[in-house]
């Protein structure tokens, strides 16, 4: 193949699915996995574009996205655990004290 367009299209599909997952799932862990899917699709786009431009920079970006994602995961899971402890639930619908 001499174009990366199919890869980009695939990444767009995955990104949209991540967004849908984020909005439709109620469980914080599932929502969080959807975020990972979104980031992962962005990574795919980066790698594809890096291939297209014949550069390494896109790949470098992916490296950092992964590292940041790892940090986010650590904090996010810690938060989920904390909330779970006090609410006995990982359901985001139960987070509705603050509104108006």
Rounded CA-CA distance 49/97 in Å is 44
Residue 20 CB, nearest approach to other proteins (Å): 4
Least distance in angstroms from the C-beta of 60 to other proteins: 6
Sign of CA dihedral 49, 55, 61, 63: positive
CB of 72 to other proteins, least distance (A): 6
Site string for other proteins, 55-84 (x = CB under 8 A): xxxxxxxxxxxxxxxxxxxxxxxxxxxxxx
Q: How many residues bind other proteins (CB under 8 A)?
A: 96
- Smallest gap from residue 88 Cβ to other proteins (A): 10
Task: Report helix angle 28-53 to 5-24, nearest 10.
Answer: 170
Q: Could you give the string, one character per residue 6-35, with x where binding to other proteins holds by CB under 8 A and - elsewhere? A: xxxxxxxxxxxxxxxxxxxxxxxxxxxxxx
Query: What are the Cα distances from residue 6, in Å, to 9, 13, 40, 45?
Result: 5, 11, 16, 10
């Amino acid at each position: 193949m001499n174009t990366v367009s199919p890869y980009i299209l695939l990444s767009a599909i995955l990104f949209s699915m991540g967004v849908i997952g984020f909005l439709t799932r109620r469980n914080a862990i599932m929502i969080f996995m959807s975020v990972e899917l979104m980031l992962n699709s962005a990574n795919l786009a980066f790698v594809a574009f890096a291939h297209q431009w014949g550069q390494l920079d896109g790949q470098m970006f992916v490296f950092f996205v992964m590292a940041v994602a790892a940090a986010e995961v650590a904090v996010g899971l810690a938060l989920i655990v904390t909330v779970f402890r006090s609410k006995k639930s990982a359901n985001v619908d139960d987070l509705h004290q603050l509104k108006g």
